[in-house]
Amino acid sequence: YSMNSIIPTDIHTIYLNKNVILFDEIILFFTKITGLNQFSILLFKILFITFCILIIAGLYSRFFSLLLLILQVALVKSSYYYSYGVDFFSSMSLMYLIILPSDEYFSLRNYFWKITQKSSFLIVKTTFQIHIAIAYFVSGIEKLSGYNWRNGESIWKAVHLPNFNNDFNINFDFLGKYPLFIVFIGWSTIVIELFYPLFITLKKTRTLWLYLTISLHLGIALTLNLYFFSAIMITWNITNFYFIKTDN
């Protein structure tokens, strides 16, 4: 990123979607004000981190979530070939933070201004729950429709991807001696995702399915080092289903 990048900005942005504000356009805007391209990039980073901190602290989270969403989408759309599922889930998370009153409890806003009348967000949370249920179900259908997950090939490839599993350097070659175990992991993933909408809704199986789903993402984090993706998905699950009242 920047005018001094390996691939010039004009070439880098030629195939990008022009319907959204791109990272380079924000940097050019900052550069017109500051006159320094590298400082503009640093300013973008500072604003990004600052908005994150303000959202976490609960100081007008909706407003700063909107600003952060603009920066985040600009960054993702400008690096389309390097983005994956976590980037889109990040955008959706910010969208829900704009809608949900996330700064009404345990927040700086509530601490300084004492919010007495809390918002009702039952409809929004129900929509959020349907959203995550559909996401898992579609993912399960996609895995079931092919043979790679059913025969364990996808699991074998995933744990042997280059530049993954660098933190623990676990050698998974021994799994080749236990092909049925690899098949079991593949089918377990399919079952957890495919039946997520049903068993996460039923009161008797909700806790079990929540823990199974969290375990799935913990496994992804430890074996593939996809910590950010796993953290977001675990947060989505806990937010939607861990705090449901027992009488619901």
Are both 229 and 136 inside the same structural domain? yes
**pLDDT value at 26 more than 50:** yes
Question: What is the longest distance spanned by two Cα atoms in the chain?
Answer: 62
What's the total number of domains in the chain?
A: 2
Does position 232 have pLDDT exceeding 80, yes or no?
A: yes
End-of-domain residue from the set 51, 82, 112: 112
Give the per-residue pLDDT at 246: 43
pLDDT reported for residue 133: 97
Using one digit for the tens of pLDDT, what is the confidence trace for 45-96? 999 999 999 999 999 999 999 999 999 999 888 877 677 889 999 999 999 9
Boundary-marking domain end, from 112, 133, 148: 112
Instruction: State whether 97 and 127 are in the same domain.
Output: no
Residues 168-176: what's their mean pLDDT?
A: 83
Q: Are residues 81 and 159 in the same domain?
A: no
101 and 158 co-located in one domain? no
**Structural domain of 16:** 1-112
Whether 16 contacts 78, CB under 8 Å? yes
User: Model pTM?
Assistant: 0.84
Same domain, 30 and 89: yes
How close are the terminal C-alpha atoms of the chain, in Å?
49
**What is d(CA 71, CA 26) in angstroms, rounded to the nearest whole number?**
8
Are residues 77 and 189 both part of a single domain?
no
Residue 1 pLDDT class (50, 70, 90 cuts): low
With b for 16 or more beta-carbon neighbours within 10 A and e for fewer, the 212-245 pattern comes to bbbebbeebbebbbbeebbebbbebbebbbeeee
Final residue before a domain boundary, out of 87, 112, 137? 112
Residues 230 and 141 in one domain: yes
pLDDT in tens, 108-167: 888 888 877 777 677 888 999 999 999 999 999 999 998 999 999 999 998 888 877 667
Residue percentage of the chain with pLDDT more than 70: 91
| SS3 label, residue 58 | coil
Q: Are residues 185 and 104 in the same domain?
A: no
Q: Which residue has the tokens 């603009």?
A: 70
Among 207, 69, 195, smallest CA distance to 144 is for 195
Amino acid (one-letter) located at 139: S
